[in-house]
C-alpha cells in the first residue's frame, strides 16, 4: 500500500474513533521523534511531525492506534495488516 494512501486512511480511522490528528512542526534540536499519542484536556490526540516522511507518519499512526480496540471496526485488509504487525 502506498504510504500516502495509508496515511489518509489511518487519519480517517483515527477521526472515526474520535481521535484528533494534528500535524505540527516538532523541533528537532535535541529529540528525534515523529510524534505520538497523547491526552490533551481529556481527549486523545495524535501529533505527527509535519516535516517527517510519509512512511514515518504512517509508522507513528500505527503505533498510536494499536492500543485501541479495533475488532468491531471495519478496516480495509491491507490497512488491518499494517495495524496487526508486531
Name the residue among 58, 53, 36 with its Cα closest to residue 45.
36
pTM of the predicted model as reported, rounded to 2 decimal places:
0.88
Q: d(Cα 54, Cα 63) in Å, to the nearest integer?
A: 14
Residue with cell 496487526: 84
DSSP of 48-81, one letter per residue? EETTS-HHHHHHHHHHHHTTS--TTS---HHHHH
In order along its 86 residues, the chain shows pLDDT tens digits of 799 999 999 999 999 999 999 999 887 776 667 789 999 999 999 999 998 899 999 999 999 999 999 999 999 999 999 999 87
Amino acid at each position: 500500500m502506498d504510504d500516502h494512501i495509508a496515511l489518509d486512511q489511518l487519519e480517517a480511522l483515527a477521526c472515526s474513533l474520535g481521535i484528533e490528528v494534528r500535524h505540527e512542526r516538532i523541533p528537532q534540536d535535541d529529540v528525534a521523534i515523529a510524534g505520538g499519542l497523547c491526552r490533551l484536556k481529556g481527549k486523545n490526540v495524535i501529533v505527527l511531525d509535519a516535516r517527517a516522511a510519509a512512511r514515518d507518519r504512517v509508522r507513528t499512526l500505527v503505533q498510536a492506534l494499536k492500543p485501541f480496540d479495533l475488532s468491531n471496526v471495519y478496516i480495509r485488509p491491507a490497512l488491518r495488516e499494517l495495524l496487526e504487525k508486531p
